[in-house]
Amino acid sequence: MLSEFDLIAHYFTRPVRDTARIALGVGDDCALTVPTPGMQLAISSDMLVEGRHFFPDAEPRALGHKCLAVNLSDLAAMGARPVAFTLALALPEARAEWLAPFSAGMLALADLHRCELVGGDTTKGPLNICITIFGEVPPGQALRRDAAQPGDDIWISGTLGDARLALAGYRNELALAPDTLSQAAPRMHAPTPRVALGTALCGIARAAIDISDGLVGDLGHILKRSGVGATLCVDDLPAGAALATQERDLRRRFALAGGDDYELCFTAPAERRGDVLAAALQAATPVTRVGRIEAEAGLRLTDAAGAPIALQLASFDHFASP
Amino acid sequence: MLSEFDLIAHYFTRPVRDTARIALGVGDDCALTVPTPGMQLAISSDMLVEGRHFFPDAEPRALGHKCLAVNLSDLAAMGARPVAFTLALALPEARAEWLAPFSAGMLALADLHRCELVGGDTTKGPLNICITIFGEVPPGQALRRDAAQPGDDIWISGTLGDARLALAGYRNELALAPDTLSQAAPRMHAPTPRVALGTALCGIARAAIDISDGLVGDLGHILKRSGVGATLCVDDLPAGAALATQERDLRRRFALAGGDDYELCFTAPAERRGDVLAAALQAATPVTRVGRIEAEAGLRLTDAAGAPIALQLASFDHFASP
């Protein structure tokens, strides 16, 4: 069996690519990075646990991609440009057949975003994957949750609900046609972090969050921290291609409270609509306007005709669910 | 039961202390820090797993201290000044009786080092504690593992082996007198990260590492990465107060390959001995000169008379041990 140090060296140590930004990579007590003068440092950390965030038999290449993607998504939601990340990994055993594709999936996505693996830790234990990611954002331009203002438009990137639809298929909550499941599955296994959109929205959007626990719950964080309310037009929500073929109530529920979407929900002044659309074009990422921030607290849902609708929704809470 | 969000808010969210360095703390997609102009960023990550790094019944206040201490020790070994850290926590259940002392122990040590908790994650799962820590160091002054040169003195901070002695007592590997165990135990439960010494050694010492897996193994990392060898005088090693009362072979073994010491092992040019001692005085941290870096590869051990000695030693490897 490989020793801990062999493991790290073999699958997770590569020569530093960008020596101007990374002064020292994996292999010392600390990594050393060279901050860009005048920029703020954005930091986020996510821990993924087997059986809770992914299935025990998750395909390792996709899992490697997804673990980094959810962290890149946090940078995107802040408008930050990725710089580097650390990986801490608890593994029940050290198997090359798992480590090789896991590291390949993760490092391929890292390369795509010029985000370097600079350090971390490996230990024996129940499978647990913890990534901490660093990015840079110009001072005052970060897209914070507390910055929404009454009158702002509410926008969503991409589409919602296909990741939740795939999960429902795997769990046999729904009987999905094989084609539907195979169409939805990539949204669950290999989310696309909206990094280019996030950085393009700096200076245009006000508040942003990435939708990991479901739109209603995550938008709720913006509303709470900004001290505002909102109205969402439920029928304007962009359903994923697979979800769009399902019946209306399911479509609404999974778009509103699906989870695992990793799209951005952001607000911007109504007079910046043209700039938002230009940023979306520059980032090659579709965006949809779905509602409006209001001074009155609470979240109101309407249908396409503007009539209020009521839905039973549950956001995802890691400790509340069994 | 508390929800995930309540947990985070209650035990781990505090107002930012140093608003000049931390622009945004816990509660958004990312934290935002303000790097000091001209400094490099030092980053390290450690993951601690129940049953491997600590006993299942570990006292939570000491555990909170230790988890942060091992990360601060990595900054110390780089000569970096602490700035901030993130905490990702997998918990089987959310119990206030555990969380309150755990966070109190961790945050007390954080305050001592002006190191702010700026973010993280909480999830349900087998107990796993992952901290990523950030510090700052002047360019070119970081104490790297690859910087040792033939002729350098080898130094050790504090004392060695008492943490390993306490572990041997708990595991009943040795029958220790109750007084001996109670004297050694704090070195295992509440290590002191040598942060002040590490920063004081910047510009004086060449290479450094913190001793977490045992002196021989950790010094071995310096030797390998620097392409050098060394001779250690085993009888010069500063044994802990409890270990010093034990018989010679045990004293030697636990000082050389105990683990969990969290002392610094560093090298410095022989002509800087006065500066090393002045730095140690400034940091109020005892240091002991224990050997010398040599061009010839390999590690040679001698006794007080300079005669070579051979010892069977095993460094700690998380995957090699059962």
Q: Are residues B242 and B296 in the same domain?
A: yes
Which residues in B lie closer than 8 A to residue A2 (C-beta atoms)?
319
Residue A155: its pLDDT value, please?
A: 98
For residue A246, give the CATH number of its domain.
3.90.650.10
B312: CB partners within 8 A, 6+ apart: none
Q: Is B135 on the interface with A (CB under 8 A)?
A: yes
Residue B282: its pLDDT value, please?
A: 97
Q: Is the pLDDT of residue A37 over 50?
A: yes
Query: Across-strand partners of A154?
Result: A267, A291
Which helix (H) or strand (E) segment holds residue A4: the answer is helix A4-7
A307 belongs to a structural domain: no
Q: Are residues A121 and A81 in the same domain?
A: yes
- Asked which of B52-56, B171-175, B195-199 is least confident by mean pLDDT, the reply is B52-56
Which residues in B lie closer than 8 A to residue A87 (C-beta atoms)?
45
Q: Are residues A98 and A165 in the same domain?
A: no
What does the pLDDT look like over A206-232, one tens digit per residue? Answer: 999 999 999 999 999 999 999 999 999
Q: C-alpha angle with apex A200: A108 to A196, nearest 5 degrees?
A: 15
CA distance A220 to chain B (A): 12
Q: Are residues B184 and B126 in the same domain?
A: no
Work out the number of other CB atoms within 10 angstroms of the CB of residue B307.
8
Residue A223: its pLDDT value, please?
A: 97
Residue B20: its pLDDT value, please?
A: 87
Which residues in A lie closer than 8 A to residue B28 (C-beta atoms)?
78, 144-146, 225
Distance CA A106, CA A115 (A): 11
Q: Are residues A47 and A91 in the same domain?
A: yes
Which residues in B lie closer than 8 A to residue A75 (C-beta atoms)?
29-30
CA distance A192 to chain B (A): 17
Domain end, chosen from A137, A171, A197, is at A137
Domain end, chosen from A111, A137, A163, is at A137
Residue B93: its pLDDT value, please?
A: 86
Q: C-alpha angle with apex B214: B209 to B217, nearest 5 degrees?
A: 70
CB B195 within 8 A of CB B143: no
Distance CA A251, CA A210 (A): 20
Residue A321: its pLDDT value, please?
A: 42
> B207's torsion region: left (phi>0), alpha (psi -120 to 50) or beta?
beta
A148 belongs to a structural domain: no
Q: Is A222 on the interface with B (CB under 8 A)?
A: no
A316 belongs to a structural domain: no
Which residues in B lie closer than 8 A to residue A37 (C-beta atoms)?
37
B:197-216 residues touching chain A, CB 8 A cutoff: 208-210
Average pLDDT over residues B1-12: 68
CB A151 within 8 A of CB A269: yes
**B9-27 burial: b if 16+ Cβ within 10 Å, else e:** eebbeeebeeeebbbbbbb
When pLDDT is cut at 50, 70 and 90, the band that residue A63 belongs to is very high
Q: How distant is the alpha carbon of residue A262 from its chain centre?
A: 3
Q: Which residues of A are annotated as a binding site?
A: 29, 44-46, 53, 74, 120-121, 145, 210, 212-213, 260, 316
Average pLDDT over residues B64-86: 97
Number of domains in chain A: 2
What does the pLDDT look like over B237-287, one tens digit per residue? Answer: 999 999 999 999 999 999 999 889 999 999 999 999 999 999 999 999 999
Q: Which of A41, A48, A89 sits opposite B32 (nearest CB)?
A: A41
What is the 3-class SS of A73-124, one letter each residue?
HHHHHHCCEEEEEEEEEEECCCCHHHHHHHHHHHHHHHHHCCCEEEEEEEEE
CB A68 within 8 A of CB A26: no
By CB atoms closer than 10 A (0-12, 13-18, 19+), residue B150 is: middle
Q: Could B45 and A134 be called an inter-chain contact, meaning their C-beta atoms sit closer than 8 Å?
A: no
| Structural domain harbouring B133 | 4-137
Q: Is A307 on the interface with B (CB under 8 A)?
A: no
B320 belongs to a structural domain: no
Q: Are residues B294 and B178 in the same domain?
A: yes
ipTM of the complex model: 0.89
Could you tell me what percent of chain A has a pLDDT over 90?
79
Distance CA A115, CA A263 (A): 20
Could you tell me what percent of chain B has a pLDDT over 70?
94
Which residues in A lie closer than 8 A to residue B134 (C-beta atoms)?
41, 43
CA distance A177 to chain B (A): 32
Distance CA A294, CA B69 (A): 46
Q: Are residues A112 and A252 in the same domain?
A: no
Q: Is the pLDDT of residue A203 over 90?
A: yes
What does the pLDDT look like over B26-42, one tens digit per residue? Answer: 888 899 999 999 999 99
CA distance B136 to chain A (A): 9
What does the pLDDT look like over A86-104, one tens digit per residue? Answer: 999 999 888 888 999 999 9
pLDDT: is B96 or A5 the higher one?
Answer: B96
CA distance A200 to chain B (A): 17
Q: Is A125 on the interface with B (CB under 8 A)?
A: yes
Q: Are residues B42 and B171 in the same domain?
A: no
Q: Which residues of B are annotated as a binding site for Mg(2+)?
A: 29, 44-46, 74, 121, 210, 213
Average pLDDT over residues B1-20: 75
By CB atoms closer than 10 A (0-12, 13-18, 19+), residue A290 is: buried
Q: Are residues B130 and B175 in the same domain?
A: no
Distance CA B206, CA A195 (A): 40
B33 belongs to a structural domain: yes
Could you tell me what percent of chain A has a pLDDT over 70?
94
In the DSSP assignment, the letter for residue A278 is: H
When pLDDT is cut at 50, 70 and 90, the band that residue A27 belongs to is confident
Closest CA to B156 of B226, B223, B238: B238
Which residues in B lie closer than 8 A to residue A51 (C-beta atoms)?
125
Q: Could A33 and B43 be called an inter-chain contact, meaning their C-beta atoms sit closer than 8 Å?
A: yes
Q: Is the dihedral of CA B174, B179, B184, B186 positive or negative?
A: positive
Closest CA to A28 of B293, B115, B148: B148
What does the pLDDT look like over B287-313, one tens digit per residue? Answer: 999 999 999 999 999 998 999 988 766
B:4-23 residues touching chain A, CB 8 A cutoff: 4-5, 7, 23
Q: Is the pLDDT of residue A184 over 70?
A: yes
Residue B245: its pLDDT value, please?
A: 94
Q: Is the pLDDT of residue B107 over 50?
A: yes
B319 belongs to a structural domain: no
Which residues in B lie closer than 8 A to residue A319 (C-beta atoms)?
1-4, 7, 93-94, 122, 124
Q: Is B132 on the interface with A (CB under 8 A)?
A: yes
B:232-291 residues touching chain A, CB 8 A cutoff: none
Q: Is B74 on the interface with A (CB under 8 A)?
A: yes
B38 belongs to a structural domain: yes
For residue B106, give the CATH number of its domain.
3.30.1330.10
Q: Are residues A225 and A257 in the same domain?
A: yes
Which helix (H) or strand (E) segment holds residue A46: the answer is strand A40-49
Q: Could A31 and B24 be called an inter-chain contact, meaning their C-beta atoms sit closer than 8 Å?
A: no
Domain end, chosen from B112, B137, B162, is at B137
Q: Are residues A294 and A166 in the same domain?
A: yes
Residue A322: its pLDDT value, please?
A: 36
Which residues in B lie closer than 8 A to residue A94 (C-beta atoms)?
319
Q: Are residues B159 and B95 in the same domain?
A: no
Q: Which of B23, B35, B86 sits opposite A45 (nearest CB)?
A: B86
The percent helix, strand, coil of chain A (3-state, each to 5) is: 35, 25, 40
Start-end of H helices in A237-319 = 248-257, 273-282
**Residue-averaged pLDDT of chain A:** 92
CB B58 within 8 A of CB B97: no
Distance CA B12, CA B106 (A): 10
Q: Could A44 and B31 be called an inter-chain contact, meaning their C-beta atoms sit closer than 8 Å?
A: yes
Q: Is the dihedral of CA A174, A178, A179, A183 positive or negative?
A: positive
Q: Where are the beta strands (DSSP E) in B144-257?
A: 153-157, 208-211, 229-233
Q: Which residue of B has its CA nearest to A70?
A: B29
The amino acid at residue B181 is L
Which residues in A lie closer than 8 A to residue B43 (C-beta atoms)?
30-33, 84, 86, 118-119, 132, 134
Distance CA A75, CA A67 (A): 13
Residue B313: its pLDDT value, please?
A: 61
B147 belongs to a structural domain: no
Distance CA A114, CA A108 (A): 10
Distance CA B270, CA B245 (A): 31
Distance CA B128, CA B50 (A): 7
Residue B11: its pLDDT value, please?
A: 86
Distance CA A244, CA A160 (A): 10
